[in-house]
Amino acid sequence: MFTSHEPAASVAVHTSYDGSNVVYRMLRLETWGPALMNLGYYPFRGPFATLNVVVNLELAQRQLVMKSLKLLGVKPEHHVLDLACGRGKSSFIIHCLHPGTTVVGMDLLDRNIAVANALFDHLPGLSYVNGDVTNLQFADGSFDRMLCLEAAFHFPNRAKFLQEAYRVLRPGGRIVVVDFAWKTEAHRESLDDPETRLVREIWQWDDFFSIADYEHAAVEAGFKIKSTHDWTSRVSTPIQAVFRCLSNLGNHSWGRRFLEWRNPLYRSISPADWKALDEAVHAHQHVRNNSNYMVFVLEKPQ
């Protein structure tokens, strides 16, 4: 039923996750490998955000899944669709926490689905499919719960995604969408700034929705907005502070020696990589200033 959907994407999503950019390479040194592929949810906020550099990235990533699942409200008999599941770990977490559920993880990249199948096979009730989540190949009302964690920024058409999600959700069902959004319509004016262009190239996106766009498109699709949450201070601000700290250390020979002592894999980061990281961190700060890290909890009326 499912064929490879990679060529259909208007953006080259695979370049965000294949080590061709320095931000991904840094994340891969810390943990991003055959694991979760999100930014994580951090304990230290505001002026203490840099302290998150001591937080294990993998634990922060799992915490982001757990926080999202708390809002999703999965029950034992539910059919759950994990949209853009990456390498399948979030679907596996849902399966572990909620025995009795049927969980399907879907991702655009067949290489991610191959990793998911290799890591999390032989578990009854958990399966993975390759597919474009903006064009779902499921019958109307197939799922009770859906999660879309940190992926919708890639989608060329988020309104269509929400319409598809609405169709495939059963009446009374719920979806949690976790995504970046322009703070206001006016912040979209930064879309073509050189810094934003660099971040768009690294993470392969054309545009964000604004928060108001999301709420409008959700209601247009038929959803009732149960709640909206701003996790900027827990996700995008802390990870930005961590990267700024790493980049600052990488600018000094003593800092590089410290990082290599802490994690010898940092020896693989070249001077050109450190320079590229510096530019990337500056560019991400610009996008961070104009956008928030948002959670939309949407319900399909009975």
Ligand X SMILES: C[S@@+](CC[C@H](N)C(=O)[O-])C[C@H]1O[C@@H](n2cnc3c(N)ncnc32)[C@H](O)[C@@H]1O
For ligand X, the binding residues in 145-174 under the rule CB under 6 A are: 149-151, 154-155
For ligand X, the binding residues in 205-234 under the rule CB under 6 A are: none
Q: Which of 189, 198, 160 is nearest to 281 (CA)?
A: 198
Radius of gyration of the chain (CA): 19
The HSE-up count of residue 21 (CA atoms within 13 Å, CB side) is 20
Give me 117's structure tokens. 């199948």
Q: Does 86 bind ligand X (CB under 6 A)?
A: yes
- Cβ nearer to ligand X, comparing 151 with 249: 151
Tell me the closest approach of the beta carbon of residue 156 to ligand X, in angstroms: 8
- Cβ nearer to ligand X, comparing 177 with 198: 177
Instruction: Give the residue at shortest CB distance from ligand X.
Output: 86
Residue from the set 72, 132, 209, 240 that interacts with ligand X by CB under 6 A: 132
Residue from the set 23, 26, 57, 84 that interacts with ligand X by CB under 6 A: 84
Cα separation, 197 vs 191, whole angstroms? 7
- Cβ nearer to ligand X, comparing 203 with 274: 203
- Cβ nearer to ligand X, comparing 53 with 65: 65
Residues pairing with 299 in the sheet: 174, 224
Give me 120's structure tokens. 């999390």
- Per-residue buried b or exposed e for 17-31, using 16+ beta carbons within 10 Å of the residue's own CB: beeebbbbbbbbbbb
Tell me the closest approach of the beta carbon of residue 301 to ligand X, in angstroms: 26
Q: Collect all residues with Cβ–Cβ distance below 8 Å to 143 and sequence separation of at least 6.
A: 78, 79, 80, 81, 104, 168, 169, 170, 173
- Cβ nearer to ligand X, comparing 154 with 183: 154
Residue from the set 22, 53, 72, 109 that interacts with ligand X by CB under 6 A: 109
Tell me the closest approach of the beta carbon of residue 107 to ligand X, in angstroms: 5
Segment lying near ligand X (by CB under 6 A), choices 18-26, 82-90, 180-188, 212-220: 82-90
DSSP string, 41-96: --S--GGGGGGGGGS-HHHHHHHHHHHHHHHH---TT-EEEEET-TTSHHHHHHHH
- Cβ nearer to ligand X, comparing 9 with 114: 9
Tell me the closest approach of the beta carbon of residue 95 to ligand X, in angstroms: 15
Residue from the set 27, 29, 36, 295 that interacts with ligand X by CB under 6 A: 36
Tell me the closest approach of the beta carbon of residue 256 to ligand X, in angstroms: 28
For ligand X, the binding residues in 38-67 under the rule CB under 6 A are: 38
Cα separation, 216 vs 223, whole angstroms? 10
Residues 44 and 238: beta-carbon distance below 8 Å: yes
Burial status of residue 271 (CB atoms within 10 A of its CB: 0-12, 13-18, 19 or more): exposed
- Cβ nearer to ligand X, comparing 38 with 249: 38
Give the footprint of ligand X on this chain (CB under 6 A).
9, 13, 36-38, 84-86, 90, 107-109, 112, 132-134, 149-151, 154-155
